[in-house]
Structure formats: structure tokens, C-alpha cells
Amino acid sequence: MSNLGLYLAAVLIWGSTWLAITFQLGRVPPEMSVAYRFALAGFILLAWCVVRGLRLAYSWREHAAMAAQGALLFGLNYVCVYRAEGLIASGLVAVTFSLIVFLNIFGTRLFFATPLKPVTLAGAACGVAGVVLIFLPEISQASGTGREALGLGYALVGVVSASLGNLLAARNQRKGIPVVQLNTFGMLYGAALVGIFALVDGQPVVFDTSAPYLLSLGYLAVFGSILAFGAYLTLLGRIGADRAGYTGAAIPLVALLMSTCFEGLRWHAATVLGIVLCLAGNFLVLRRPAKPKTS
């Protein structure tokens, strides 16, 4: 796929998962739902690797790197997302996660000495400002209770974990680990670590056999995990974590449309202005630089 195709795949799929996650909340503890999701995705990818004859033998150092990525990107990140969405509106979580744009930019500068491009910073600023405007009505309705503060705390920890996982994924790809195997072992390690934490924490091992839970679990595992992360990490390897992280500002646009169609969300003037800013930011970050003219 082209870079644009990979970008659109990640944005469109992840934009819909904000709604799908709400069907995972309820009877099953968030940690167990995360473990089920990534265990299912990881075993599907493992079967794919076996059928395709892909390399599965790696050194203990490579496994340690993949386990660290799994713990951050497929473990702690999603535990915090699920917990945050159980406490506060998804719009507030989306606003917080748009900060990954800046975290990835400064993270690549810190760890990979990537130059800070003014156009990327400007695009990121436009995108985050647009997301805030889109969800301004939800933000203004926040009452400032302890419940909301805890939810925002989870979201902040989640976005930092996701950004660190992005940087580890970029590092692992530079070390020559292919995306499919990287996701296979990363998701299995992430699921195992989250499951162990849930057991140590004394959480009940329960499963919801209702249709909404099963369908959302399947969608989140196959589309939200296997396909979206496959597209995103491939894009990350091509254009860097700083530019790929801009999906964090574009995804809420899809979430907004989903909420409009299925939850009756009403649009305001701030909504329209926010969309314009997000689209402008997308253009600034993703446009190709002009080729120098030759005489």
C-alpha cells in the first residue's frame, strides 16, 4: 500500500474503535478485555506466520525488545484507554490522546536525533487545536469531579505509554524485525503481561458471551489490532514516528462522524472550525516537500 493508503487505513479503523470499545465495558474487567483482544489477535497472526513460513526464531534480546514494546503499546496503553473510557466521555480521551503528536515529535528528536521540522510542529499544533475545538462542548460540561480527574490521569498515562511504544517499534524495525512478527510477539507478550497483572490484582477471570461483546471483540482484534497496527507500524517504519503519530489528531475526526451517526452527536460552530484545523494540519504534515527545480 502507498503511505496515504496506510495512513487512511489506520485512521479509519482506529476512528471506529472508540465506539467499539464501549461495548467491551461492563461485566468483564478492562484488563481481561485487553488480554482477550490481543491474545486473539496475536494467535491469529502466529497462525498466519506459520502458514506463510515466516521467520519465528529470534534471540532473547529481540524477544525482550518485542516484550517491552508489547507491554507499552498493547498492554499499559490499552488498559488505560479502557479504564479512561469507563470514567469519562470518549471525547475527553480523544483530546488527551491527540497529544501523541507532540510526544512522538519530541521523542524522535530525543532518541533518534531527528530534526524538528517547523511544518510538522505547525501541523501538529493545528491538529491538537482542532481536536480540542471538536470536543469543546464535552470538555465544557466536565464537572471537575474526582472521577473525571482519575479518567484524565489514565488517559495521560496511556498516551505516554503509546508514544514510548511507538518509539520502541521504530527502534525494533530499524534492528530488522519485520512488522508482522513484531506485532505477533508484541501482542502475545502484551496480552500475557496484562493477564498476569489482572490475576495478581485479584480480578475475576470472566467472559461475556453476549453478541455485542463477542462482535466488538472480534472487530477490535482483527481490524483494530491486526490490520490497523499492521498499517500503522508499516507507515511508522517508512516516514518516522513523528509524522506517523499525526494519526492521533486525525482519528478523532472519524470518531466524531461515528458518534454523529450512532450516538446522535450534535455539531456546533466549534465542531466545523475544529475539522478545518485538523484537515489543515493533515495537509501540512503529510504533504510531500516540493522538489527543487533544476535548470
pLDDT at residue 295, rounded to an integer: 44
Q: Would you say residue 58 has pLDDT above 60?
A: yes
Burial of residue 189, with CB atoms counted within 10 A of its CB: 0-12 exposed, 13-18 middle, 19 or more buried: buried
- Quick one: cell of 39? 491474545
Span 218-239, pLDDT tens digits: 999 999 999 999 998 899 888 8
Give Cβ neighbours of residue 60 (< 8 Å, ≥ 6 apart).
Answer: none
| Alpha helix stretches (DSSP H) within 201-268 | 211-219, 228-239, 241-244, 247-263
Query: How far is C-alpha 139 from the geometric centre of its chain's CA atoms?
Result: 21
C-alpha span between 25 and 173 (Å, rounded): 33
pLDDT at residue 50, rounded to an integer: 96
Read off the pLDDT band of 243 (50, 70, 90): confident
Q: Where are the domains of the chain?
A: 3-286
Q: What is the mean pLDDT of residues 260-280?
A: 77
Pick from 153, 161, 16, 182: nearest CA to 88: 153
The one-letter amino acid code at 122 reads A
- Quick one: cell of 132? 480540542
Q: Would you say residue 3 has pLDDT above 70?
A: yes
31 contacts 39 by C-beta, under 8 angstroms: no
Q: Would you say residue 26 has pLDDT above 90?
A: no
* CB atoms near residue 171 (< 10 Å): 16
* CB atoms near residue 148 (< 10 Å): 15
Q: Would you say residue 48 has pLDDT above 50?
A: yes
Torsion of Cα atoms, 210 then 215 then 216 then 219, to 10°? 160
Mean pLDDT, all residues of the chain: 85
User: If you compute the radius of gyration of the chain from its CA atoms, what whole number of angstroms results?
Assistant: 19
Pick from 255, 270, 215: nearest CA to 19: 255
Distances (CA, A) of 280 to 93, 127, 202, 203, 208: 22, 8, 47, 45, 42
Handedness of CA 93, 95, 96, 99 (dihedral sign): positive
pLDDT at residue 46, rounded to an integer: 97
